């Protein structure tokens, strides 16, 4: 039998629990970083298709697209924040495949 000596590690509160807004902010930032490269390409494709159809977009269309992207980012942030509420996280953890903590193999 081996004698193990040394400091005993205490359980640490996960960052997501201690600072849920940081996790939400990180999600929003990564969402924006992920979407950013696609916006110019999608904008160019949509402009080309509209031109091919012989139509013109009103000047307010670009503002509407920007507002739509802002709404999507806000909704993702709100959903992320709700998911981080401990009670909601506990329910989600009971769903197979959605538990963020991997099961221990015994």
Determine, yes or no, domain membership for 104: no
Determine, yes or no, domain membership for 37: yes
Determine, yes or no, domain membership for 99: no
Using CA atoms, how far apart are residues 104 and 106, in angstroms rounded to an integer? 6
Domain that holds residue 29: 19-92
Using CA atoms, how far apart are residues 80 and 29, in angstroms rounded to an integer? 12
pLDDT digits (tens, 9 = 90+) for 8-43: 667 777 777 777 778 778 888 888 888 887 888 888
Determine, yes or no, domain membership for 12: no
The number of distinct structural domains making up the chain is 1
User: Whole-structure pTM over 0.75, yes or no?
Assistant: no
Report percent pLDDT > 70 for the chain: 82
Using CA atoms, how far apart are residues 9 and 58, in angstroms rounded to an integer? 62
């Amino acid at each position: 039998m081996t004698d193990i000596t040394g400091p005993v590690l205490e359980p640490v509160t996960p960052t997501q629990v201690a600072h849920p807004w940081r996790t939400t902010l990180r999600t929003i930032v990564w969402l924006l970083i992920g979407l950013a490269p696609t916006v110019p390409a999608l904008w160019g494709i949509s402009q080309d298709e509209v031109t091919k159809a012989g139509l013109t977009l009103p000047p307010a269309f670009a503002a509407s697209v920007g507002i739509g992207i802002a709404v999507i980012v806000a909704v993702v942030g709100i959903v992320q924040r709700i998911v981080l509420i401990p009670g909601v996280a506990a329910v989600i953890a009971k769903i197979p495949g959605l538990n963020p903590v991997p099961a221990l193999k015994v």
